[in-house]
Amino acid sequence: DVQLVETGGGLIQPGGSLRVACAATGFTVSSNYMAWVRQAPGKGLEWVSIMYSGGSTYYADSVKGRCTISRDKSKNTMFLQLDGVTTEDTAVYYCARKANGFYTYFDLWGQGTLVTVSS
């Protein structure tokens, strides 16, 4: 079965770091363009970051400089680390796969993991 499963959510203190993981089954993470999208409570979707199959990475302005997207081929898993978190980073974090080829939409999403930043 093809799916994405996020883990790593929870309560984080302001100024700390969050690290969420996205484990894939049924396909290879490193052969795809993989992204993170987040959604603050009651708010809309916000694109956060993407890693291309070749390893290039890109970040939204809201997280650039404090965010790192990475992957572990042996675990077929993608990660997102965000440092210096604030309450503004409280959100459900989704991982998503960009459709193969020249498509620019996300064809597969995980169920999301909630990260709450609070003291």
Partner 1 sequence: SYVLTQPPSVSVAPGQTATLTCEGDNIGSKSAHWYQQKPGQAPVVVVYDDSDRPSGVTERFSGSNSGNTATLTISRVEAGDEADYYCQVWDGNSDHGVFGGGTQLTVL
Binding site for partner 1 (CB under 8 A): 35, 37, 44-47, 50, 56, 58, 60-61, 94, 99, 103-107, 109-112
Give the whole-angstrom CA distance, residue 23 versus residue 8.
11
In whole angstroms, the minimum distance from the beta carbon of 112 to partner 1 comes to 6
The strand pair at 10-12 and 18-25 is best described as unpaired
> Could you give the 3-state DSSP secondary structure of residue 67?
strand
In whole angstroms, the minimum distance from the beta carbon of 98 to partner 1 comes to 8
For partner 1, give the closer residue by CB, 1 or 74.
1
For partner 1, give the closer residue by CB, 56 or 74.
56
Among 6, 1, 2, residue whose Cα is nearest residue 110: 6
> Could you give the 3-state DSSP secondary structure of residue 90?
coil
Neighbour tally for 90: CB within 10 Å: 18
In whole angstroms, the minimum distance from the beta carbon of 13 to partner 1 comes to 26
For partner 1, give the closer residue by CB, 61 or 119.
61
